[in-house]
Amino acid sequence: MRTALLILGLTVAPALVMADAGHGNGEMAVGMPAMHGHAPSRTIDVIMREDFDKDATFVFEPSADMVFAAGKTVRLHIINQGEETHEFVMNTMEENAEHKELMAKFPEMEHTDQNAVRLEPGQEADILWTFPKAGSFEFACPLPGHYEAGMHGALTVN
């Protein structure tokens, strides 16, 4: 019986660490999912698509930096108007770089983080998010080749 428990512990523990990623309470450097009952102060539509007129680049709209006030809750309405699968991930630039490296090794990796969404063409999703403190962050699509083709931007919390 001890052997079975030890084996179970070894196989389950790494999965828990990866799924938790150090923010078990939901808060990350970029903020946290909105608490139940917190109405968003504003909604931003974020379009993901390809721009074949510009040598098949990938774009987010708005393409300008996203700026939010600290302490506010926002609704990000993410829409994939492209012909390919895209992701929207907001995090620190360092965390996004690590995520991008991992996606290069495992491009079909499924996500459960609440700061990210993967959408097939025509799909839409919402992220309700609270930005508790000021800082400089990034939004990006870490799928192989998408970031390099222009699918990223600055996210600033004042």
User: Is 3 part of any domain?
Assistant: no
Q: Looking at the domain assignment, is residue 103 inside a domain?
A: yes
Per-residue pLDDT for 6 more than 60?
A: no
Return phi, psi of residue 106, to 5°.
-130, 70
Residue 80, domain CATH: 2.60.40.420
Q: pLDDT band at 37, cuts 50/70/90?
A: confident
Residue 61 lies in a domain: yes
| Concatenated DSSP letters of 9-41 | HHHHHHHHHHHHTT-TTS-BTTBEEPPTT---S
Domain count, the chain: 1
Domain membership of residue 8 (yes or no) is no
Please indicate, yes or no, if residue 105 is contained in any of the structural domains.
yes
Question: Within a domain: residue 5?
Answer: no
Q: Is residue 14 part of a domain?
A: no
Q: Residue 89 and residue 31: Cα distance in Å, rounded?
A: 13
Residue-by-residue DSSP string for 70-103: TTEEEEEEEEE-SSS-EEEEEE-HHHHHHHHHHH
Q: What is the pLDDT of residues 81-109, one digit of tens each?
A: 999 999 999 999 999 999 889 888 887 87
Asked whether residue 45 carries a pLDDT value surpassing 80, the answer given is yes
Domain hosting residue 101, numbered range: 25-157
Predicted confidence (pLDDT) at residue 128 exceeds the cutoff of 70? yes
CA distance 115 to 87: 11
